[in-house]
Amino acid sequence: MLCRLCGTDRLLSVLDLGATPPCERFLTADELDQPEPTYPLHLRLCENCLLLQIPALITPEETFTEYAYFSSYSQSWVEHARQFAGRAIERLGLGRNSLVVEVASNDGYLLGHVVDAGVPCLGVEPSVNVGAAAAARGVPTVTAFLNERTATDIVAEHGPADLVVANNVYAHIPDLLGFTRALRILLGDDGWLSIEVHHALNLVEFAQFDTIYHEHFQYYTVASAAHALATAGLTVVDVETIETHGGSIRLWARPEGAAGQPTRRVAAVLAAEEHAGLHDVTGYVALARRVERVRHELLRFLLDARAQGQRVVGYGAPGKGNTLLNYCGIRPDLIEYTVDRNPYKHGKFTPGTRIPIHPVERIDKDRPDMIVVLPWNLETEITDQLAYTAEWGARLVYPLPNLHIVEPTRGIAP
């Protein structure tokens, strides 16, 4: 394995999560008696450029041609996108003569707000099923993986973009250098690029290991992201720290000829990363021990609940949840089933651990004692959604960033 940013072979093992199935490869009932492929999930750090990464053992085509994740099923995510779109339009002065291009536009959860504002836009979405949902809601969408060729074709037909949005996709690309060049091709010489990605500072400090899965090929600090963007002549000019996915960064970059001086926020986040030891190898060496503590604490809790005769189910079937379930070895004896708002997953089973997935209404029918929330980063939203479970005294279990219990309408207990 060579670093996909700088090409060196100086890769330090940071965290080995064993071998797991791809996190979005949900099983049908007919597949339960068939072999299930697994791939190593081994996080490494490039000692030269400090890019966190895993080997590219599956291709984006295997994951995203038919995809199980629809962004619009999260109310908080749709609201996050609405606020971003409004602020970006105002900040950049976008109007009817502008063009916004979103890469990995999913089901139009973000560009729908751009359409409503009367700003021309185009989504680039590789998943046929998800892109069709975007088109059905009136969002112009090209079904394609972004590369240098498709970027050139888009610019030839639509012109360069004033704003390119690449939210939660910059980690999903094994050809990091080619994809970064494609982003630059899409962008006008005086345009803006906005990227949202989970911040490696939070991954390391809070042991957020469930953000590691096979479709996430790399994990960024501001320093490593700036290094990657610079390979295509793009300069980070601003950064915002945001709460999504347990703590993300929103990077604003421009072509180097239009960049100017970066804001003070860039220097502030870089300083925080350096203080945490992430600008050399020292800050990464304790991650494995922190992750082990999370696993042991969660397993002790679930084993005690089982011994006490408590009925425990899950809420959500996100990709990150499947990393947690597989690494911890949690199967239906500890979490009987999970539920999800996405009908695409109903009647299927989680990869590896083979926990059944039901509609959300199953919780109201069964009235379990405990509900383990796998998309823990949406705690506020999901606690509100499950407030009705207070009727029978259910407790909500959030496994990360530290295991804690929420009793609906009664606050938080340690």
Tens digit of pLDDT at every position of the chain (414 positions): 899 999 999 999 999 999 999 988 999 999 999 999 999 999 999 999 999 999 988 865 555 545 444 454 567 778 888 899 999 999 999 999 999 999 998 888 899 999 999 999 999 998 877 778 878 888 899 998 999 999 999 999 999 999 999 998 999 999 999 999 999 999 999 999 999 999 999 999 999 999 999 989 999 999 999 999 999 999 999 999 998 878 999 999 999 999 999 999 999 999 999 999 999 999 999 999 999 999 999 999 999 999 999 999 999 999 999 999 999 999 999 999 999 998 889 999 999 999 999 999 999 999 999 999 999 999 988 999 999 999 999 999 999 989 999 998 754 443
Q: What tokens appear for 116 in the block?
A: 């409503």
In this prediction, residue 68 carries a pLDDT of 47
Residue whose C-alpha is closest to residue 375's, from 316, 311, 305, 331: 316
For helices 176-186 and 222-230, the axis angle rounded to 10 degrees is: 70
Q: Compute the distance between CA of residue 83 and CA of residue 356 in angstroms, rounded to an integer.
A: 35
In this prediction, residue 74 carries a pLDDT of 63
In this prediction, residue 246 carries a pLDDT of 83
Q: H helices within 68-192, ranges in order? A: 75-92, 111-116, 128-136, 148-158, 176-186
Residue whose C-alpha is closest to residue 238's, from 204, 271, 267, 279: 267
Radius of gyration for the alpha carbons in the chain, expressed in angstroms and rounded: 21
Q: What tokens appear for 311 in the block?
A: 């009925």
In this prediction, residue 414 carries a pLDDT of 38
Q: Compute the distance between CA of residue 47 and CA of residue 340 in angstroms, rounded to an integer.
A: 40
Query: Within 10 Å of residue 54's Cβ, how many Cβ atoms?
Result: 24
Residue whose C-alpha is closest to residue 183's, from 212, 221, 135, 150: 150
Number of helical H runs and strand E runs in the chain: 13, 18
**How buried is 47 (Cβ within 10 angstroms: 0-12 exposed, 13-18 middle, 19+ buried)?**
middle
In this prediction, residue 301 carries a pLDDT of 97
DSSP annotation of 349 reads B
Q: Compute the distance between CA of residue 350 and CA of residue 270 in angstroms, rounded to an integer.
A: 38
In this prediction, residue 329 carries a pLDDT of 96
Q: Between the CA of residue 258 and those of 5, 159, 239, 254, 267, what are the distances in Å?
A: 24, 18, 17, 6, 19
